[in-house]
Amino acid sequence: MKRLAPVLLVLAGAVPLVVAGLLAYRWATAPPPEPDAFGSNRPDVAPLEAHPSVLYGRVTTDDGSTYEGPLRFGGHEEMFWGDHFNGTKDENPWAADVPPERLVERRPRKFLGVELDRERRIDLERPFMVRFGDIERVERKGGRLEVTLKSGTVFDLDRFGADDFGDGVRVWDGSAGVVDLEETRIRTIEFLASDGPGDAVDRLHGTVRTSQGDFTGFVRWNRTECLGTDELAGNTPDGRLDLRFDTIRSIARHSGDSSLVTLDDGREIVLSGTREVGKGNRGIYVDDPRYGRVLISWDAFERVDFSPGGAGPAYDDFPPGRPLTGSVTTRGGQRFTGRLVYDLDESETTETLDAPIEGVNYTIPFGLIASIVPAGGDADRIQVTLRSGEELRLERRGDLGDENAGMLIFIDDRARPVYVVWSDIVRVELDRTEVGVSPLEEG
């Protein structure tokens, strides 16, 4: 045993050296770290010059630092005035105008064969979604966000709910360069018009063909890729292939989990095996001027043909929203006219009606809508007529579903608004108002 002691001591002293050597080898041979949410560990962040079509603003941090320039949320997401800012409303201020007993619903439930009535308060939590061109300012205040629209209307959002603010902001500041700011550092974002002389950004634009018809406008493939310099990734028999969108003429659904890509030079390539080119695709946004924005599911998608589309609208192309006004007709034949609050939620022309039809989800600013006629009985479609005269038959889901909380009508000669439940409404007519340039039109 005495002879083994020196050997054990030597081995004990060698172990740390061996471990250190293995760690050094692993560090030297390990792949580079993945980019963070902004890709800030990449030295090749593309420059972005100020242009009227690109988001622009002044960001102030908690320590008082100020950065001004073109903006992009999440480093790789929203960057145009027609893109949508999403969030969750912190509370519903319109609930105070509804008799409390009307906000409680009774639903029968069976327990051990006995049918019981169960009361519950109607869910009034609602998402918030407007175009960036409609926003004047965003401010972080503790656990909430205060979003001020151009109209002066202020919305309180839950900062800890899902929102674009939580993704952080990248600023191309003229002095500081590229600055990536996490949400916890940002105090305010003030959106500003820019007449910057930079070149127009190469945006994806084209016609998307679906089982529900064709939609033409600016395109966001898989909800994120929106530039010619973005890449479409997929697998071929020879391995993985990344294609820049500005080399692609069209993409067609090839199977449930693959796409046929036609390049500008006429070559055709089948890509598969990634969420971008198959059933994992999260959908294709199209900013179609007839409807505002549609989201096309992979199941409804058939083909997209890319084409030039211009730069898109500038900040000043979005006029302030106006109060939603019109009339509501009930099943009893009453007709109320005044300022409207739809679904105890939307009250301005720039807010949107959201409803799908067979894999295509419409997000339509109320300023584009002429009337809504809820179907009676068990019909599963509701007629929405647009200012253009086009009629859509949308599913009873989203803002047209049974969860709709009804409408308030503020009538000039009444101290309190009239409240009408959704099931009692047979027709809603909206006054015509200006909603601003369509995201498709050139800026």
Q: What is the pLDDT of residues 64-78, one digit of tens each?
A: 999 999 999 987 889
Which pLDDT value is given to residue 7? 40
DSSP state of 34: P
Residue 91: per-residue pLDDT: 83
Question: Which one of 107-121, 159-173, 245-259, 423-437 scores highest in mean pLDDT?
Answer: 245-259
The CA R_g of the chain, rounded to the nearest whole Å, is: 27
pLDDT in tens, 340-364: 999 999 999 999 999 999 999 999 9
The pTM (predicted TM-score) of the whole model is 0.84
Give the separation between CA 399 and CA 342, rounded to whole angstroms. Answer: 9
- Domains of the chain, by residue range, sit at 56-89+125-191, 205-306, 315-430
- pLDDT, one tens digit per residue, over 398-415 is 999 988 999 999 998 888
Look at residue 437 and tell me whether its pLDDT is greater than 90: no
Closest by Cα among 181, 154, 146 to 68 = 181
Look over the chain and give the mean of its residue pLDDT values, rounded to a whole number: 86
pLDDT score recorded for residue 346: 94
Query: Which percentage of the chain shows pLDDT scores above 90?
Result: 69
pLDDT of residue 162: 64
Q: Which H helix or E strand runs over 58?
A: strand 56-61
What digits encode the pLDDT tens for the residues 216-238?
Answer: 999 999 999 999 999 999 999 99
Stronger pLDDT, 59 or 161, i.e. the higher one: 59
* CA 284 remoteness from chain centre: 12
Please check the confidence at residue 376 and state whether its pLDDT lies above 70: no
For the ranges 160-164, 306-310, 425-429, which has the lowest average pLDDT?
160-164
109-126: string of b/e by CB count within 10 Å (b at 16+)? eeeeeeeeeeeeebebeb
pLDDT band at 377 (very low <50, low <70, confident <90, very high): low
What's the pLDDT score for residue 375? 67
Nearest to 216 by CA among 282, 77, 310, 321: 310
Query: Is residue 97 very low, low, confident or very high in pLDDT (cuts 50, 70, 90)?
Result: confident
* CA 387/CA 357 separation, integer angstroms: 19
The pLDDT of residue 230 is 94
How much is the pLDDT for 191?
A: 98
Higher-scoring residue by pLDDT: 413, 34 = 413
pLDDT at 17 over 90: no
The string of DSSP codes covering 73-91 is: ETTTS--BTTSEEEEEBS-
Evaluate if residue 8 carries a pLDDT over 50. no
- Model confidence pLDDT, tens digit, residues 100-139: 877 776 556 666 666 666 666 777 778 899 999 999 999 9
235-240: long-range contacts, CB 8 A cutoff, minimum separation 24? 235/271, 235/272, 235/273, 235/274, 236/269, 236/270, 236/271
Q: Does position 151 have pLDDT exceeding 70, yes or no? A: yes
Q: Are 219 and 284 in contact (CB under 8 A)?
A: yes
What would the mean pLDDT of 327-352 be, rounded to a whole number? 95
What number is the average pLDDT over the span 296-317? 96
Q: Determine what percent of the chain is predicted with pLDDT higher than 70.
A: 82
- Strand 268-272 to strand 258-263: parallel, antiparallel, or no bridges (unpaired)? antiparallel
Cα separation, 133 vs 318, whole angstroms: 6
Return d(Cα 104, Cα 405) in angstroms, integer: 11
Sign of CA dihedral 56, 81, 343, 416: positive
Q: Phi/psi of residue 182, each to 5°?
A: -75, 160
Cα distances (angstroms) measured from residue 355 to each of 233, 365, 383, 392: 31, 12, 11, 10
- DSSP H/E element including 158: strand 154-158
Report the alpha-carbon distance of residue 111 to residue 114 in Å, rounded. Answer: 5
Most confident of 104-113, 302-311, 378-387: 302-311
Task: Confirm if 330 and 407 have CB atoms less than 8 A apart.
Answer: no
**Of residues 258 and 39, more confidently modeled:** 258
What is the three-class DSSP state of 65? coil
257 three-state secondary structure: coil
For residue 409, which of 333, 351, 323, 331 has the smallest C-alpha distance? 323
At 76 the pLDDT is 83
**pLDDT given for residue 30 in this prediction:** 42
Q: pLDDT at residue 182 above 60?
A: yes
